[in-house]
Amino acid sequence: MMTNKEIANAFQLLAGLMEVHGENKFKIRSYQSAYRNLRSLDTPLAEMEDGAIASLKGVGKAIHGKIRELLDNGVMATLERYKTQTPEGIQELLQIKGLGAKKIQNIWKELGVESVGELLYAVNENRLVELKGFGKKTQDDLKQKLEYHQQSRNKFHYASLLPIAEELISYLKQQFPDAAIHLTGEMRRKCPILSRISVILARDGDILSNFGEKIVQIRKENSIFEVRFDNYQVPVQIITCPMQEIGIWLIKSTGSTTFVETLLKPYESIDFYSYKETSIFETVGLPFFPPELREASWLDNDQFPQQLPTLIEDTDIKGVLHVHTTYSDGQHSLEDMVRYAKDLGYAYIGITDHSKSAFYANGLKPERLFEQWEAIDRLNAEMPSFKIFKGIESDILSDGRLDYEEDILRQFDFIIASVHSNLKMDEAKATQRLITAIENPYTSILGHPSGRLLLSRKGYPLDHKKVIDACAANSVAIELNANPYRLDLDWTWIPYAVERSVKIAINPDAHSKQGIHDIQYGVAVARKGGLSATACLNNLSRDNFEAYLHKGAR
């Protein structure tokens, strides 16, 4: 039998859904009132006679009937009808305090956002400030609420846990200055999505379970502690061991289960507990696997068990190739983005605001595009040691065409072709749509190929091999979109792209100066895919990149 709280919550949800759909205000208020009154009721509704329920404050004939439905059947027909009319993600947004149904209605109808992850992505792209009821302060506040909401789930973006993990390591080093302390597990492998933070704490002498006032112990199993850190609602695992055993525990805790079993099972007779981490790989006859490569797929890969690639580093990235400015939906001006990239030490930048069909992002009509080009010319004249390339993130239209006429397309230095709309095609149509865009002679880079948003939206179905083969045939690079909510191309497809000699562009998709720093997350997952610097497009020097663009002109 349903409790008063559950019944009250049903009316609260009904009121919220009706408000999202712009329904009758008086009915909405009556359901909101029912929620407040029923929530504070002392006597269980299940124990009350119909007459007593009908006489309650704010309960008329219609609401009484709905209460009876819930008590008898556990469901309310009206509520179920509104649920079927509303995406699950919109229903989830109603759970976020301070957002409100009217704001959700605007976000849904004006931006087409249908989930928490999509909304957080829109916030990071500065999309909400122009909507009614939003401003910069409201948007920033909403970002914090959305991130908190996502952290309350069981999965987390790597980027959201990294600063917490770094703070945790710093704290533990203060508590245990004589210990060796390392991140391990999914975070050490730089997995795009994590279930927790894992740490190894190795020290001689007694292993203490008192980690200090900032850490609350939840559970202990042998020498492994499940804890939470301070006020962060994030699962943390702390593995404790004697100092001499740190090598084997780094092996066991870092790799995926299959990787570790495949690595160690043939050597069960060897006592590895006093071995260094590097010595264990030497003993089993394998090169040292960087943590990012400790996935089952790499031990199964016939190409690399004896000769691993030299993985790309952050410092190998020479230029920034996917940047938005205030000309479309960026937070900072063209000059601000350019000078910031230059100050960070990059040699060039590619400005790629949204194309004209991207009305949701203030896409550039031709007259504004020409205005931007003139501004780029002026800045290039002022900074001879730095190069600004004239690019665009061109929407791939439903039939695969790019979003300008040929007389404009030919004037860009390079074009990133991306899908932003009509994401519900079947695999055959979605694949052909991309291939048509790839075969366009003006496409330089295929942007975020699957269109996914991690923890929010699956990518549309694609035949990745056909898409990569088309890029190889047409000398088109593929973007690894470094935004931590995308990380698309997925790292598992990088080996095939490299095999087909397709260049990978690690692009931040930056909508602010700070967004340029997202390149680090792209490099992290590129390493998981075994990418070397020579296979990365924006590892090219300024002059070599310019030569590449001229050579690639078809």
Its CATH class, for the domain covering 314-552, is alpha beta
Q: Quick one: 262 exposed, middle or buried, by C-beta within 10 A (0-12, 13-18, 19+)?
A: middle
The torsion region of residue 332 among left (phi > 0), alpha (psi -120 to 50) and beta comes to beta
Query: pTM of the predicted model, to two decimals?
Result: 0.82
Residues 203-241: tens digit of each pLDDT? 987 766 678 889 988 898 889 999 998 878 899 999 999
Structural domain spans, the chain: 1-86, 95-153, 156-299, 314-552
Q: State whether the Cα torsion 46-47-53-59 is positive or negative.
A: negative
Multiple choice CATH, 1-86, 2.40.100.10, 1.10.150.110, 1.10.1380.10, 1.20.1340.10:
1.10.150.110
CATH code for 156-299?
A: 3.30.460.10
Sign of CA dihedral 234, 239, 243, 248: negative
- The answer to whether residues 517 and 532 touch, using CB atoms and an 8 Å cutoff, is no
CA 34 to CA 157: how far, in whole Å?
Answer: 38
Q: What is the pLDDT of residue 226?
A: 94
Residues of the chain with pLDDT under 50: 304
What pLDDT, on the 0 to 100 scale, is given for residue 302? 59
Report residue 81 as tokens: 């009808």
pLDDT at 40: 73
Asked if 290 and 271 touch (Cβ cutoff 8 Å), the reply is no
- pLDDT of the residue at 8: 92
Helix axes 158-175, 519-528, angle to 10 degrees: 90
Residue 62, token pair as written in the block: 């219609």
